[in-house]
Structure 1
Amino acid sequence: MLRKSDVTDLIYEKKRLAGLTWASIAEGIGMSEVFVTSACLGMNALPRDKADKLVINLGLPQEAGVVLAEYPTKEWDRTVPTDPCIYRLYEIVGVYGPTLKELIQEKSGNGIMSAIDFEMSVDKVPNPKGERIEIRMSGKFLSYNSW
């Protein structure tokens, strides 16, 4: 019986051996690069038809389609990340989190940005000072109820 972590390992292997990118894998099933990558890493569920298409495209065992479509348990290690790329994102939230919260609430009221009704993209942007990475996040505003 395959687990999400097993399927992730299989996908990494197929991706490496075939010289694929996350963008090409996502394009092959007609979905967003960020969402498909997240699902392949076990943090989201693909619609069953898209999971089955990914299985065919990568030559994975059929059972992998069932696993890719299963609802995930969204847990992660709560220690400070040591991978430099992930740590920088952690640091950004630590430094700018209170600022973002203030600005979101000043502009929209008492509430939060949804990570459920949510889209994100990652792009490389040319810059005279050196390449930049642009991360765009768009989430529905959810206001807190008063009762």
Structure 2
Amino acid sequence: MSPILPKSDAADLVVAARIRRGLTWSQIADRIGAPPVWCTAALLGQHPMSRDQAEGVCALLELDESVAESLQLQPYRGSDAAAMSDPTVYRLLEAMSVYGPALKELIHEEFGDGIMSAINFKVDIARRPHPDGDRVVITLDGKFLDYRW
């Protein structure tokens, strides 16, 4: 019996197959009926996929059962230090370090004592045309969870 393919290795194979087949992340997500941001995160190892989703992706990308098996595993969530230093990811971290305290205050002011869930959560990305250059619009949509004592 061979070991199960690590999720990071499966992600590398998915990325390579996606590029070589000229597919976008959105096309893959559409094919399995999943939101693009969630699907991309799952294929990069951050969420488990259902058997049908994993097998559908692997059929589309011509990847074998070992990848489908790995895509169904429960992940260890989070990114490594190298990913966090990528300029795009780092700018998102920078935005949260600058605006996070203000967002926290505004959440408390609007909703009371609690947090925004990152489990009962959706995220979306869109492009908005702008005269000074297109804008990236990221929507974080999390359930408010009040602290209960």
TM-score normalized by the length of structure 2: 0.92
Q: 1:3 to 1:81 in 2, by over 3 A?
A: closer
Tell me the CA shift for residue 81 of structure 1: 3.2
Task: Find the aligned partners of 1:6 and 1:80 in 2 and give their Cα distance.
Answer: 15
User: 2:67 aligns to what SS in structure 1?
Assistant: helix
Q: Give the counterpart of 1:44 among 19, 22, 47.
A: 47
Task: Find the aligned partners of 2:18 and 2:10 in 1 and give their Cα distance.
Answer: 12
Tell me the CA shift for residue 48 of structure 1: 1.9
Task: Find the aligned partners of 2:36 and 2:101 in 1 and give their Cα distance.
Answer: 29
1:102 pairs with 2:105? yes
Give, as a single letter, the amino acid of the residue that structure 2 aligns with 1:50. Q
List 4+ stretches of structure 1 deviating above 6 A.
Answer: none
Give, as a single letter, the amino acid of the residue that structure 2 aligns with 1:76. S
Structure 2 unaligned runs (5+)?
none
Tell me the CA shift for residue 14 of structure 1: 0.4
Q: How many residues get paired?
A: 146
1:140 pairs with 2:146? no
Tell me the CA shift for residue 137 of structure 1: 1.0
Tell me the residue number matched to 2:128.
125
State the Cα RMSD in Å. Answer: 1.5
Task: Find the aligned partners of 1:28 and 1:62 in 2 and give their Cα distance.
Answer: 18
Tell me the CA shift for residue 79 of structure 1: 7.9
TM-score normalized by the length of structure 1: 0.94
Tell me the residue number matched to 2:24.
21
Tell me the CA shift for residue 57 of structure 1: 1.1
Tell me the residue number matched to 2:8.
5
Deviations 1:22-62 (A, max 9, x none): 10111111101000100111111112211111111111111
